[in-house]
Structure 1
Amino acid sequence: MNTGRIVRLAERDRAEVHFLLDGERRSALADDTVLTAVLASGHALRSSEFGPEPRAGFCLMGACQDCWVWQEEG
């Protein structure tokens, strides 16, 4: 598992929710974006095309292709 790219400093009053990421159960908080949930759970989004370094996304708002997610249903 890669090191998480987002660290939560203080969270209150949001329920914990669970999701599967590459077959592993992960935790997030209710109303997290998919990107926040993935990065806070300890995953990098992908490896750099220029080397083995993990990537955490480029724009972090869904405008580029760095954080596209494929759903199981397609």
Structure 2
Amino acid sequence: MPAGAPGAGSGSVEPGDTPPGESSVSAVQGHGEDAPARWTQWAWLGGIGLVVLVGALAFLGYGLGLLD
């Protein structure tokens, strides 16, 4: 590290040695942080649960000889 670098002597960075994060990024990075609606999560869970339930009932039906 150069001798005149901020925080070179003590190994720590003092307040004001680095620029604020807001000024270092000029554009949106990556994706937006908007989450889907809460009902969307429940709809997916309900759909997956329904598929699992139908599969379990079909497995049980074949096991009991009801769906031969």
Of the two, which has the highest radius of gyration? 2
TM, length-normalised to structure 1: 0.15
Say which structure, 1 or 2, has more relative contact order (CA 8 Å, 6+ apart). 1
TM, length-normalised to structure 2: 0.16
Higher strand share: 1
